[in-house]
Structure 1
């Protein structure tokens, strides 16, 4: 559709302007509807900016985007060497969209080696005691955060799956499969909704219970967490071929789509009371728009739910463009309005969100140009995008 192409062109032009505006810093979240907050390379969100640069390079062929992205890769090299705020599981978000993306697009060996070192760093989160899992936050044995897995980790697992394929070291694959299976078993509920986090006894692995950090309540369904499940399980299927992951992705997607409001863009939690002031989370719908394309690619042509999933995808992406994008506002730095970071903590509950921008752009480019992002290799042989 012409509108989607216009949305991509607008986004690429906006990213081009932002390269100079950000001045080597990283966009994080909006500042009350104004410009993006600029931060150093020290947060879990920093990978989404280079991911956007690589997408724009692949779309446009303009070397300025690649040059800017390569400079960012060097920043990530320094971050790993100095171990700057890497005591969490989001290393896959950081290095899949920076170093691994550079390897996929340009085939630079030093970028590949950096991504493999990042996979080793992520493996430091593995906790063999208690049955084996990737601890989301905090040091081993931490009383507050120990024993915790979270659904967001699904999007960090592609770094480990890729590292296993690159090196032949099964420890990466075994950890990723174990984490995916724990997530499927304990974070996905019987009605296909999801917990944000789940806690295990750190000593013996006994399951304690599901909780939330960012959702409305422990028993509610935080929409961004549900979105991570839709995309993350589809990616786990791509790497493993395990039908249970594909089925789980589909069931979570149908749960998500069937609970959307009339404009097809999610509120921040499916169980939050709805009133005129209830916050949306456009980033959750952007993630699902990207994840649905991965899911649909794997479903058989005669799957009975294909039509509903495809209709949900197109309705969501077109609504994001028409009602939530900043097209027509040349002063805006973000691509999508009305993203929610941490509503309960009143941290950017209704603003630009850099990961929302990334997934929106990835979803558009995959839909219109077949550019799929950087969660798995673009072709069977190593290095370089087909």
Structure 2
């Protein structure tokens, strides 16, 4: 009996110590953030109801909820957020709502009006397929990929982001504009290639990534927002910006899209060129002398700096402090966590992971996390959508929340692997 008692005591002590170690390693910001999100997203569900034509996007200047329609670029983030809530909580309440909002986007599989179908459909249906083996969802994603491919030109070797339009300030006509954001849509094509065994999807994705690497990324690994091509020859006509400070500056969220997009492309291809580009862009972001110490960037790294000339009505006196962009920080944190697991460079591996965790801790602080009821719907504060157009400046944005939750879940998975 004594031996039996001692064995039980030993097992209990080991289990207790192991549990304590797991609790010690489990970063509390993960639970705190998801707990803070619960009442906010319940509130957002109540106000949206079953209005499956308008999707929550941001807050208006008067504090009211701003919606975008079903065919706009951010529709997939709300169902994606709901899937992330289900992934963390395992509460079927979130799963049912995620399914409803995901399925509401079905008609977008035929949307060829712009390049953002990857954001819209992969953030929703792509997440759904991680929890439900649904053949219809796969078919919808495959058709979505086909729709995206309709915007690809063999001549330009890129997917056209926007239709022909005037540039900011009508400076130039953009005949075939491609933006850095477009890198994020390639994951949909890689998915379709794997499911269908049709290599054309992969071919288009790789060509687009190579052209973006060649024409959007500067020698110091900073990035242009917009590259305009001649659709007849594929020649670069202009390198400009729409949402950044100036054509030569580095728009923070554009840099974040690049880090994330090239990291994902390396994951799917194992082409070292994409890894080097992701690392270079990440190093530029993290090593920049104007990156604040809390690692949440200003909306543009070069805003108001000497030598950078804006093409919009910039009035320094309007800005007592340069706005931050929490969305750029969240995207970067998520990308850095994946990049830290993919890079073979031991120094960079530690650097990227430490930076990602530092960013997440900043975003989880009272300065950025909506724990005091600053608004009834969104988790992160202080993002900047399009400052040159005075649109969505220092507001919560749906995609900031999406990538923050994604980063937290990636962080948790990495911690889980370390604890085993």
- Asked whether the 8 Å contact 2:109–2:141 carries over to 1, the reply is no
Structure 1 or 2, whichever has the larger Rg, is 2
- Asked whether the 8 Å contact 2:34–2:85 carries over to 1, the reply is no
Q: Supply the RMSD in Å over aligned alpha carbons.
A: 2.2
Does residue 20 (structure 1) correspond to residue 20 (structure 2)? The answer is no
> Which residue of structure 2 lines up, in the alignment, with residue 342 of structure 1?
386
The correspondence of residues 236-385 of structure 1 with structure 2, limited to 5 A, is 236-259=265-288, 260-273=291-304, 276-300=320-344, 303-322=346-365, 323-329=367-373, 331-369=375-413
Distance apart, 1:329 and its partner CA = 2.0
For 1:280 and 1:79, the matched residues in 2 are separated by 32
> Which residue of structure 2 lines up, in the alignment, with residue 378 of structure 1?
none
Structure 2 spans left out of the alignment, 5+ residues:
1-26, 306-318, 416-420
For 2:98 and 2:374, the matched residues in 1 are separated by 23
Q: 2:163 aligns with which of 138, 143, 147?
A: 138
The correspondence of residues 80-159 of structure 1 with structure 2, limited to 5 A, is 80=109, 83=111, 86-128=112-154, 130-138=155-163, 144-159=173-188
- Asked whether the 8 Å contact 2:340–2:350 carries over to 1, the reply is no
Distance apart, 1:206 and its partner CA = 1.6
For 2:410 and 2:148, the matched residues in 1 are separated by 28
Distance apart, 1:365 and its partner CA = 1.7
1:152-200, Cα deviation, whole Å (9 max, x unpaired): 0111000001101110111101100000000111101001100001122
1:124-147, Cα deviation, whole Å (9 max, x unpaired): 11123x34210011169x994422
Instruction: Indicate how the Cα distance of structure 1 residues 79 and 92 shifts in structure 2: closer, same or farther if over 3 A, else same.
Output: closer
- Asked whether the 8 Å contact 1:35–1:332 carries over to 2, the reply is no
For 1:103 and 1:134, the matched residues in 2 are separated by 25
Provide the TM-score with structure 1 as the length reference.
Answer: 0.90
Instruction: Indicate how the Cα distance of structure 1 residues 330 and 284 shifts in structure 2: closer, same or farther if over 3 A, else same.
Output: closer
- Count of residue pairs brought into register by the alignment: 366
1:268-310, Cα deviation, whole Å (9 max, x unpaired): 000002764211111000000000011011012x522223222
For 1:234 and 1:337, the matched residues in 2 are separated by 26
Q: 2:251 aligns with which of 222, 225, 236?
A: 222
1:216-244, Cα deviation, whole Å (9 max, x unpaired): 00000000000001110000001100011
Distance apart, 1:331 and its partner CA = 4.7
**Greater shift in the superposed pair: 233-242 or 14-23:** 14-23
For 1:15 and 1:257, the matched residues in 2 are separated by 32
> Which residue of structure 2 lines up, in the alignment, with residue 375 of structure 1?
none
For 2:362 and 2:374, the matched residues in 1 are separated by 20
- Asked whether the 8 Å contact 1:28–1:354 carries over to 2, the reply is yes
Distance apart, 1:209 and its partner CA = 3.3
Distance apart, 1:65 and its partner CA = 1.4
- Asked whether the 8 Å contact 1:336–1:353 carries over to 2, the reply is yes
Instruction: Indicate how the Cα distance of structure 1 residues 215 and 139 shifts in structure 2: closer, same or farther if over 3 A, else same.
Output: closer
For 2:242 and 2:375, the matched residues in 1 are separated by 34
Q: Secondary structure at the match of 1:26?
A: strand
> Which residue of structure 1 lines up, in the alignment, with residue 18 of structure 2?
none
Provide the TM-score with structure 2 as the length reference.
Answer: 0.83
For 1:35 and 1:293, the matched residues in 2 are separated by 34
Distance apart, 1:35 and its partner CA = 4.1
- Asked whether the 8 Å contact 1:8–1:364 carries over to 2, the reply is no
> Which residue of structure 1 lines up, in the alignment, with residue 86 of structure 2?
57
- Asked whether the 8 Å contact 1:231–1:249 carries over to 2, the reply is yes
- Asked whether the 8 Å contact 2:78–2:398 carries over to 1, the reply is yes
Distance apart, 1:148 and its partner CA = 1.7
Q: Secondary structure at the match of 1:350?
A: strand
Distance apart, 1:370 and its partner CA = 5.5
Which structure has the higher relative contact order (CA within 8 Å, separation 6+)?
1
For 1:362 and 1:33, the matched residues in 2 are separated by 29
